[in-house]
Amino acid sequence: MSIKTVKHLVLIPIGPDTSHEYAHDTIDSIRHYTDPDRRIILIDDRRKDDRFKIEGNDIDLIVNTHESGKEGKLHATINQGVIHALRHYRFEVMLRMDDDALIIGERPEDDAIERFCERPNVGQLGSFRLTCMGYQRDASWAAGQLNKEMYPVANSDVGGSEIINELARQLRKIYSEAVSYGYVDGESCIGCATYYSYECLKQLVDKKLIDIPILGKSRLAEDHIMGLLVKAAGMEIEEFEQGGDPLCLDWLNLPCAPPEILSRGKKITHTVKRWQEMDQQSIRTFFRQQRDLD
């Protein structure tokens, strides 16, 4: 199998509730602002009768073969894209982003490549311990859930007892390795937009930390699982949202008003679903108009 060399990859799961229009808008933002020496890997997580359709020589479209869902199920879905990426491409960085995130500034991949070159021990860049607004992120829920799953009680509702016990064994094994590299319980970059170095993803595969089926039964979010795995691979995680860094992310809303995000020089934002009175359509329209001005 021939391996193609590209500068960067973008990996996006296309969720079952995402409109085709909005997913295409996110892809348009990638094509507009990033270096064309790239591949966009889309994992179609939609119904069989509503498969995602898109054309372009820069697209790899993969149909999800795992059970759809969130949490550990989404982690299993993302793994398909990571394995595909490493089998087919040699690249410098991979951006894993959600379909409700947007690229809003020129070549954020260059910022990531520069940081990884400066700090080769760093494997993941993202919104880690601090938000772009300077608030401390709370890892307590993930830490508590990890502890519950590593040491399950009799009435656990994760699944049958064999599943519970196997998940617990696997998590304890990974956790032990992660702690030896300085892992702090529950800490991770939020998964809506986060960069991985090629070396980090390769280490995950080489150490057999990718495609562990039992992790699909976890109720930890996909990003919590990846934070644990990155540390178990011996790689560091670093902030990429402070000062002049390109990310401006939050879960339920935009972190601040769209014009302020641009005035801060940010290049990737999430979630474009809402900001105060603005809905997703109006937010996407605002950023699309900015693209049209470039």
* Predicted model pTM: 0.94
Note the pLDDT of residue 63.
Answer: 84
- CA atoms of 258 and 276, how far apart (whole Å): 11
Domain tally for the chain? 1
Please, which residues have CB within 8 angstroms of residue 196's CB and are 6 or more apart in sequence?
Answer: 93, 94, 96, 123, 124, 230
Angle at 240 between CA 237 and CA 242, to 5 degrees: 130
What CATH number has the domain bearing residue 190?
A: 3.90.550.10
Note the pLDDT of residue 155.
Answer: 45
224 and 175 Cβ atoms separated by less than 8 Å: no
Note the pLDDT of residue 156.
Answer: 54
* Token couple for 3: 């391996």
Note the pLDDT of residue 67.
Answer: 60
Note the pLDDT of residue 71.
Answer: 60
Please, which residues have CB within 8 angstroms of residue 245's CB and are 6 or more apart in sequence?
Answer: 111, 132, 239
Please, which residues have CB within 8 angstroms of residue 249's CB and are 6 or more apart in sequence?
Answer: 101, 126, 127, 131, 132, 190, 192, 193, 241, 255, 268, 269, 270
Note the pLDDT of residue 110.
Answer: 98
Q: Identify the domain containing residue 251 by its residue range.
A: 4-293
Consecutive 10-residue averages of pLDDT for the chain (294 residues): 92 84 95 97 73 82 72 78 94 96 98 97 97 93 96 62 92 98 97 97 95 92 96 98 96 95 97 96 97 89
Please, which residues have CB within 8 angstroms of residue 139's CB and are 6 or more apart in sequence?
Answer: 184, 185, 186, 187, 188
Note the pLDDT of residue 294.
Answer: 78
122 and 235 Cβ atoms separated by less than 8 Å: yes
255 and 247 Cβ atoms separated by less than 8 Å: no
Exposed, middle or buried by CB within 10 Å (0-12, 13-18, 19+), for 78?
Answer: buried
Annotate 161-192 with three-state secondary structure: HHHHHHHHHHHHHHHHHHHHCCCCCCCCCCCC
Residue 59, CA distances (Å) to 24, 53, 55, 111, 246 in order? 12, 11, 7, 23, 24
Please, which residues have CB within 8 angstroms of residue 255's CB and are 6 or more apart in sequence?
Answer: 131, 132, 133, 248, 249, 261, 269
DSSP conformational letter for 243: T
* Token couple for 36: 């064309």
